[in-house]
Amino acid sequence: MTKPGFVHAYVPVGVSEAGMSHPVHRLETLSGKRIGFLGNGKPNTDVLLETLAAELKKQFPIEAFHFRKQIPSLAAPDELIAEICDRCDAVVLAVGD
């Protein structure tokens, strides 16, 4: 299909699966909630999350649980994600670098 004065070409980017976002489930309150903190294992990520958890605990009656990936460049294993889901009401991820 040609049109005078125009060039027709294919677009090289394929089709993204990205669509409408999933809704985010929020907590009604932080009071009494179990909050997980998962670092990616890069240096000082643990410091970041421990400091954050301590500050949050000063302001809210939360219970903190800390988790860590073994290798920063690999996704968290399913077992770890399942454990977090089982033990926590919400999770804060930290990606340090």
Q: Which residues bind other proteins (CB under 8 A)?
A: 1, 3, 5-24, 26-30, 33, 35, 41-45, 47-48, 51-52, 55-56, 59-60, 68, 70-75, 90, 92-97
In whole angstroms, give the CA distance from residue 32 to residue 62.
Answer: 5
85 vs 95 by CB, closer to other proteins: 95
Distance of CA 29 to the CA centre of its chain: 20
In whole angstroms, give the CA distance from residue 35 to residue 93.
Answer: 11
8 vs 86 by CB, closer to other proteins: 8
In whole angstroms, give the CA distance from residue 62 to residue 65.
Answer: 10
- Residue 70 beta carbon to other proteins: minimum distance, rounded to whole angstroms: 5
